[in-house]
A and B are shown apart, each in its own frame.
Chain A
Amino acid sequence: MTDDPGLPPDSPRPPDSPGYRDDTRRGDLDGHTMEELGDYLDRDRTPRDESIESSPACQLALAGMARLREISWTALTEEAAGQSGRDERWIGRLLDTIKDEIASGREIPVTHPDAAIRLTLSEAAVRGLVRRAGDTLGGVVMGRCTLDGDVVTPGAPVRVDVTASLSYGLSAVDTATRLRERIAGALARHTELVVTSIDIEFDDVLDDGRRS
C-alpha cells in the first residue's frame, strides 16, 4: 500500500466516532510556515512562541530542521562553494520532505488489555523516529521515509522504505547495514510494528557535509 499523508487516516475508527479528529492535512504547520520556523530556530526559539511550542507538527519540523542544519551547515553558509545552487535545491527538497511528513497520518496502535484504553502513536511521530535514527548515525542524511503496509492493524506486516544521502568514501553496503540496524532498533523499542523489511536507497552523495 502506498502511503499518502494527504488522504484520510486508514484507521479502524470511523470519522463519526467519539474522539476522532482529522489532523492529517498534508504539511499543516498549525498556521506557521517553514520560513517562520527557520527564523524561530535562528533566534534560538526566543521569545518563546506558545503556538509553535504547543504544536506537534511544528515540533517535528523544528527537530528535523535543526538536525539538517547541523549536518549541512557548510552547505548552508558557503555561498562561494560553486555548488551552492545545487546545495540550496537539495536542502529545499529535504525541507519539503520534512514538511510533507509532519502530517499526523495514520494512528499506529499500541496494545492494552483494557478495551477502554486506546493508545496510539501518530504516523508522523514514527517517521520522525526513523528520521532521527538515520540523521544521528553519522555519514547519512535522511530523505524520504515511508511506512508501507497496514500499520493500523496490530501484527500486520509493515515494510519501511527510506532514501538517504551517503557521505563520500563510505561503504554503501556497510552503512546500509548499520542504518538498517539502527532503524530496526528504534522501531522495536518505541512501536509494536511487525517490520518485515527495511529498504534503503542512497540517492545522493555528500562530501564534507555538502553534496558532491
Chain B
Amino acid sequence: MSDDGNLAARLTDAVRAVDGVSRVFPVQPVRQAAAAALTARPPELLVDVDRSDDDVTVVTAHVSVTDARAAPETLRSVGELLRAALDADGLPPDAVQVVVQAKVVEGP
C-alpha cells in the first residue's frame, strides 16, 4: 500500500474512535469498492487524502454521528484530530486543508 494509503488507513481508524462518531463513510466509494474486489480483506481507505493540488493536501472524512453528543462537538473533535495527525506526520500546517462532513445524525 502507498504512503498515502497507509496514512488514509491510519486516519480512518483514528476517526472511527472519536466519541460521537458511529460510522465512517468512504469519500471515494468507487475506489473502496475496487479495493474490496481485489483482495479478501481490503484496507479501509475511507478517509481521503488528496494531493492533486500542488499547494495543499486535502484530507476529507465523511461520517455518521450519534445523537448522544452534539454534532458540532463531534465534528470539531474529528477535525482537530485529523489536523493534529497531519501535523505529526510532518505536513506543513499552512499546506493542509481538513474537510469533515456529517452525512447522517443517527437517532438514539
Binding site for B on A (CB under 8 A): 18-19, 21, 30, 50-51, 54-56, 59-60, 63, 104, 107, 110-112, 114, 116-122, 124-126, 128-129, 132, 136, 189-192
Q: Mark B37-73, 1 if CB is under 8 A from A, else 0.
A: 0000000000000101100101010101001001110
The CA of A54 and the CA of B42, in the complex, are separated in Å by: 14
A190 and B72: CB pair below 8 A?
Answer: yes
Quick one: closest A residue to B51, CB to CB? A18
Q: Does B76 contact A19, Cβ atoms closer than 8 Å?
A: no
Mostly helix, strand, loop or mixed at chain B's interface? mixed
Residues of A within 8 A of B36 (CB): 50
Q: Which residues of B lie under 8 Å from residue A120 when comparing CB positions?
A: 75, 99-102
CB <8 Å contact, B79 and A18:
no
Number of A-B contacts (CB under 8 A): 108
- Partner of A191 from the list B23, B71, B103, B107 (CB cut-off 8 Å) is B71
Q: Complex: how many Å from CA A80 to CA B58?
A: 57
Name which residue of chain B comes closest to A188, CB basis: B70
Q: Which residues of A contact B76 (CB under 8 A)?
A: 110, 112, 117, 119
- Given the known interface contacts A54-B25, A117-B98, A128-B104, the answer about A190 and B50 at a Cβ–Cβ threshold of 8 Å is no
**What are 29 A-B pairs with beta-carbon distances under 8 A?**
A18-B52, A18-B97, A19-B99, A54-B26, A55-B25, A59-B103, A60-B104, A112-B76, A112-B79, A114-B80, A116-B83, A116-B97, A117-B76, A117-B79, A117-B98, A118-B99, A118-B100, A119-B75, A119-B78, A119-B79, A121-B71, A122-B101, A124-B103, A125-B103, A126-B105, A132-B107, A191-B71, A191-B72, A192-B72
